[in-house]
Amino acid sequence: MAPAAVVPLLRHLDPPTSPSRFLGNPLTRLIAVTLAFVGFAVLAAVDGGSALLRVDEPIERFVVTHRSAWLDEVFRRISFFGSTPVVLVGGLILAVVAWRRCRMVAALVVVATLARPLMEFTLKESVGRDRPTLAQLVNGEGHSFPSGHVLAAAALWAMVPVVLSLYTQSRRVWWGAAIGAVSAVALIGASRVYLGVHWASDVIAGTLAAALLLGGLDLGFRRLHERRHCGGAPLARPSVSR
C-alpha cells in the first residue's frame, strides 16, 4: 500500500482568518445582506430617497450644528484613508506581502481592489441619488448612494487581517487587526457624513455593499482554495494503491 500524498495544511482558511464560525452560514449571510442592500437601494431610488431623508436630514443638521475647526481637520484626515490613491497603493502593498506566503490570498486582494470601483460605479449610476447640499466641507464626485469611501475602505482594510493571518496564528493579534479594520471603516464612514458629502443611509448602504462584495469573494475564495494550494496549483489528494 503506497503512502497517502501529503495535503498542505491551509491554516489561514480557518479561524482566526475569519469570524465566519460566529456569523453563521456564509451563503445565508450573503443572501441576507443582499436583501438588506436591495431594500436600501429601492428606498434611495424612489422619490429622491424621501423615505430615508426623514432620518438623514435631522442627522445632517445635527452634524453641521456641532462642527468645529479641529473636528473639521480630524475628519478630513480620516476621510483620506478611504480615498482611491490610498486604497490602490495599500492594496498593492498587501498583495505583494501576501504573495510571499500565499498567491491565492494575493489574488483575493487584487480582485477586491479592482472589483470595487466597477461595483461602486454600477451601484451609484443605478440608484442615482443626489448628494447632500448642506454645507459640504469637501467636494464629492458623482452620485451619493452608496458611499464609495466606505466600500473602498472595506476593500482595503478588511484585507489586513486576512494577510496578517499568513504570518501569525495568534488569535489576539488577528482580533486586534480585525477590530482595527472595522473601526477604520466606521470612522471613514462617519467622516463622510461629517464632511457633508454623504447621507447617513449612504454610509449604511456602503457598509452593506462592502459586506456583499467581500462576502461573495470570500465564498468563492474558500471554495477555490480548498482545491488549490497557496502556489495556485491543484492540491494533491490522498491516494491509495492496491
Is 17 within a domain?
no
Using alpha carbons, list the distances in angstroms from residue 216 to 34, 65, 87, 108, 150: 10, 39, 19, 11, 17
Number of domains in the chain: 1
Give domain status of residue 234, yes or no.
no
- Interval 101-119: pLDDT, tens: 888 889 889 999 999 999 9
- Any domain includes 58: yes
Please indicate, yes or no, if residue 119 is contained in any of the structural domains. yes
Over 80: is that where the pLDDT of 239 sits?
no
Instruction: Identify whether 141 is part of a domain.
Output: yes
pTM reported for the whole predicted model = 0.83
pLDDT in tens, 5-51: 433 445 565 545 555 555 566 778 888 889 999 999 999 999 888 89
What are the catalytic residues?
149, 198
**pLDDT (0 to 100) of residue 68:** 92
Report d(CA 18, CA 38) in Å as an integer: 25
Q: Are 143 and 124 in contact (CB under 8 A)?
A: yes
Q: Domain for residue 12, yes or no?
A: no
Q: Is 8 inside any structural domain?
A: no
Instruction: With beta carbons less than 8 A apart as the criterion, state whether 147 and 44 touch.
Output: no
Asked if residue 158 belongs to a domain, the reply is: yes
pLDDT band, residue 215 (cuts 50/70/90): confident
Tens of pLDDT, residue by residue over 136-195, are 888 877 889 999 999 999 989 989 988 988 888 788 888 899 899 999 999 999 999 999
